[in-house]
Amino acid sequence: MQGTGTTGVQQEPDLSVDIAGVRLSNPVLTASGTFGSGLEYSEFVDLNQLGAVTTKGVSLVPWEGNPTPRVTEVYGGMLNAIGLQNPGIEVFVQRDLQFLEAYDTRVIVNVCGHTLEEYLGVVERLQDEKRVDLLEINVSCPNVRKGGMAFGTNPAMLEKITREIKAVAKQPVIMKLTPNVTSIAELARAAEAGGADGISLINTITGMKIDVERQQFVLANRTGGMSGPAIHPIAVRMVWEAANAVKIPVIGMGGVSTAEDALEMMLAGASAVAVGAANFHDPETTIQVIDGIRDYAVRHHLGSIREIIGAVRDR
Amino acid sequence: MKKLQQMLVLNNEVLTPGVYSMELAYPAGQEPVDIRPGQFVGVYCRDGSRLLPRPISICSWNYAEDEERSGGNGGGVRSLRLVYRTAGAGTRELAGLHAGEQVRVLGILGNGYDLSLLEGKRVLLMAGGIGAPPMLGLARECSRRKAAVTAVLGYRSVPLFLKEEFEQYGQVIIATDDGSAGVHGTVLDGAAMLESGAADAGKTARTSVTGSRAEEQSGTKEYEPEGQADAPCDVICACGPLPMLRSVKGLAEKWKVPCYISMEEHMACGVGACLGCVVKTAHKDAHSQVNNARICTEGPVFNAAEIVF
């Protein structure tokens, strides 16, 4: 790693990072689906301090989502099968984007669909929305029967949908990848080949919980996506594999709850890091992670936090 | 108001096996101005392997000065009382907290009961099992607002918890699944007592409030049905397991009285962000644009007519 033992008096370290030409004031974002559109957590967190807010997945029309129970706790994490309930793109633009107008942070809009046409419809609707800095395309949700992960597990399909979305999108396009594949590197390369401006990973890992007393599935959907601190080492490994497979920037996520977790992701090759389920354990997690990254940069005499991106070495 | 604070455990004691009562004090300067019965808090575990806050309804609370509020000018809430059942590792951890320890608490969360709809009315409270705690705070606030409170409390078996405390605020009818105390059966069987045996008492009470009720009727909300002539109450409030709430809604429809119910569901964030704890609603919810309301935010208290069981 560079940066240790550099000369000169330590200035306030530069925490800004660049994702597909978009400058973020720091590398800490929220993970889609764990933060609404920021409103619910704005009572706990000054959204202006975040590198970006990634909004809950939005589709062309309102989606009902799955039956309940939709969430359950597991050791070191949780399972969810929300099923991408959302109010649809029109209400999202009028209400949620409008709300975010008041904040000086970047906005990443997570886009979902059952069909390619639905994804394209949302992307097209957002073309002229100036508040949107980046698009994150959800081709990795394990909890919807059509679309979602079905698009994100087949490299040829992923490359095609990426190319079609890029043809319509006016903002840079980040493809959000699922960990529920044999080779994440192959999927990362497919997204890059399709023209993606970046990739984000990991979405949740498909899991299951059974109520042994009732001998029933706990979740109505039977399976759910696992998130939380327990999945973090898996996410770090996949971020490292993906970052080494492509040249486009990587946004790392999966079980990040401390600055150390976020720094691991960056050393593995992530240009930015998202905090997800940890928001549920402590709504102030994002701010603690930013503070911890700043402390680390000072302690390691980094002029810029960008110095550590992908800097992990063999012993 | 959603806040996150460390609260001081004042006491944490067993009421009956597996049911605990814990009083938590707010740090100076962080007291909420007021609480509505039916609201809840999220209590975090210390063990980081348990990620999610435990949603626990507020049983009752104490104001900063130990005196009745004067004209709504309370000095703020000093402490909360939570009555909870140990259901898993998380609540067992809470049960192990001692006076003097700190616990991280999210909230006040949720909407609570609209007391203006209950003031001066004959209010029937129906609680099943661990649904009783929030009804106690509601009984107290109803009684302060000149409501005639009747509580039907359902338990699996003896020993009973909170019964004596309910008796401070009105008539109490007990129902147990095994018949070990009160009526042998559910809260519905308990409420049936009001229809038959206690009907005379009900009619007497009704006569005394008819005047004020008629006056209020002109300005009441449109969804409040006109009570059936011999209904033993003007309004029902209930908290308990889903099948019980479904039956209570049916009873309210039969009596043609409004019914407000406190719902529960597996919950994650507690603040309305994750959409984990939704309930099917009759109308499209303004937030979701679909027939799903968030129990943690639009609820946990709903007009029963709005809930699709």
Query: What was the ipTM of the complex prediction?
Result: 0.93
Whether pLDDT at B285 is above 90: no
Binary contact (B51, A73; C-beta < 8 A): yes
On chain A, the residues whose CB falls within 8 A of the CB of B296 are: none
Binary contact (A62, B51; C-beta < 8 A): no
Is A182 or B200 the better-scoring residue by pLDDT? A182
Helices (H), A93-226: 98-100, 116-125, 149-152, 155-168, 184-193
Q: What is the mean pLDDT of chain A?
A: 95
Whether pLDDT at A290 is above 70: yes
Q: What is the pLDDT of residues A92-109, one digit of tens each?
A: 999 999 999 999 999 999
Which among B53, B276, B289 has the least Cβ separation from residue A82?
Answer: B276
Chain B: nearest CA to A182, how far in angstroms?
28
Q: What is the pLDDT of residues B159-188, one digit of tens each?
A: 999 999 999 999 999 999 999 999 999 999
Q: Cα separation of B188 and B241, whole Å? A: 13
Can you give the pLDDT at residue B228?
74
Binary contact (A40, B273; C-beta < 8 A): yes
On chain B, the residues whose CB falls within 8 A of the CB of A68 are: 265-266, 276-279
| pTM score above 0.80 | yes
Whether pLDDT at A164 is above 60: yes
Q: Are strands A173-176 and A198-201 parallel, antiparallel or unpaired?
A: parallel
Q: Which of A146-155, B25-34, B196-205 is the least confident region? A: B196-205
Q: What is the pLDDT of residues B87-110, one digit of tens each?
A: 999 999 999 999 999 999 999 999
Q: Other C-beta atoms within 10 Å of A286: how many?
A: 30
Whether pLDDT at A153 is above 50: yes
Can you give the pLDDT at residue B66?
52
Whether pLDDT at A135 is above 60: yes
Is A154 or A10 the better-scoring residue by pLDDT? A154
Q: What is the rounded radius of gyration, in angstroms, for the C-alpha atoms of chain A? A: 19
Can you give the pLDDT at residue B201?
44
The angle at the Cα of A123, spanning A121 to A124, to the nearest 5 degrees, equals: 65
Binary contact (B278, A283; C-beta < 8 A): no
Whether pLDDT at A227 is above 50: yes
Binary contact (B292, A64; C-beta < 8 A): yes
Find where tokens 């969430």 sit: A71
* Residue numbers of A between 58 and 97 with CB closer than 8 Å to B: 62-65, 68-73, 75-78, 80, 82, 85-88, 91
Between the two ends of chain B, the Cα-to-Cα distance in Å is 29
Can you give the pLDDT at residue B254?
95
Whether residue B49 lies within 8 A of chain A, CB to CB, comes out as yes
Q: How confident is the model at residue B202 (pLDDT cuts 50, 70, 90)?
A: very low
Residues of chain B with pLDDT > 70: what percent?
A: 86
Q: Cα separation of B250 and A180, whole Å? A: 46
